[in-house]
Chains A and B, each alone.
Chain A
């Protein structure tokens, strides 16, 4: 079975540029989570969707970040404009059912903003 798929795996961009990260959920899953991981702050939840609807976006750092789920199996996380402090590993995870259920992570996107 295919797991959560993320692209790109690595992204290097210059400050001010737009960055789009992509995620494909595990087939049959209906909850989608975007996380950011840094050494200093650990794993932070950015936003959570259930059945394509954003349920909790309190972790989104600021208006520069936006996330969409245009269909049941796909999501994007966009940063515009990007800043060096956005450099981190961004993970997408999916689960079946509610947010407190078992979540399965994608391989992550390592973002470097110079």
Chain B
């Protein structure tokens, strides 16, 4: 069974710090990796996608992928209180197989 594991948190960081969110997955055939942000009472919002080993940067967000270790992470630089949310990791193989979501890590950024 395909599994995606995340620490449920909460992960508490002060404003301006770097938040590091981690995710491990069980299916070695996985080819696509996504990070979604979900505010309380709202729907998941896609914020990053990564398909190759290494780092991908988009503004204050950096996604890191290590397929050999079956590990994907999300770094948020200069964390803001508005970043407080649950972050969901989603993993999928290529083709007509579906994404598997982790249960999410709650991030709390204190002013």
Contact (Cβ within 8 A) B94 A105: no
Interface size grouping (class) on chain A: 20 to 34
* B57 part of interface (Cβ distance < 8 Å): no
Q: How far is the CA of A43 from the CA of B90 in the complex (A)?
A: 10
Contact (Cβ within 8 A) B96 A33: no
Q: How many residues of B contact A (CB 8 A)?
A: 24
Contact (Cβ within 8 A) B98 A33: yes
Contact (Cβ within 8 A) B99 A99: yes
B99: A residues at CB distance < 8 A: 45, 99-100, 103
Q: How far is the CA of A2 from the CA of B90 in the complex (A)?
A: 24
A33-B98, A91-B44, A107-B43 known; A102 vs B92 contact (CB < 8 Å) = no
Mask: chain B, 64-107; 1 = CB below 8 Å from A; 0 = not: 00000000000000000000000010101111111101111000
B47-76 contacts to A, CB under 8 A, are 49
Inter-chain contact count A-B, CB under 8 Å? 56
Nearest B residue to A100 by beta-carbon distance? B92
Contact (Cβ within 8 A) B43 A91: yes
B102: A residues at CB distance < 8 A: 42
Contact (Cβ within 8 A) A105 B98: no
Nearest B residue to A105 by beta-carbon distance? B43
Contact (Cβ within 8 A) A100 B94: yes
A69-114 contacts to B, CB under 8 A, are 91, 98-108
Closest chain-B Cβ to A67's Cβ sits at a distance in Å of 14
* A56 part of interface (Cβ distance < 8 Å): yes
Contact of B45 among A56, A99, A101, A105 (CB under 8 A): A105
Contact of B32 among A33, A100, A107 (CB under 8 A): A100
Q: How far is the CA of A105 from the CA of B94 in the complex (A)?
A: 20
Contact (Cβ within 8 A) B96 A105: no
Q: How far is the CA of A99 from the CA of B93 in the complex (A)?
A: 9
Contact (Cβ within 8 A) A100 B101: no
Closest chain-A Cβ to B74's Cβ sits at a distance in Å of 15
Contact (Cβ within 8 A) B45 A55: no
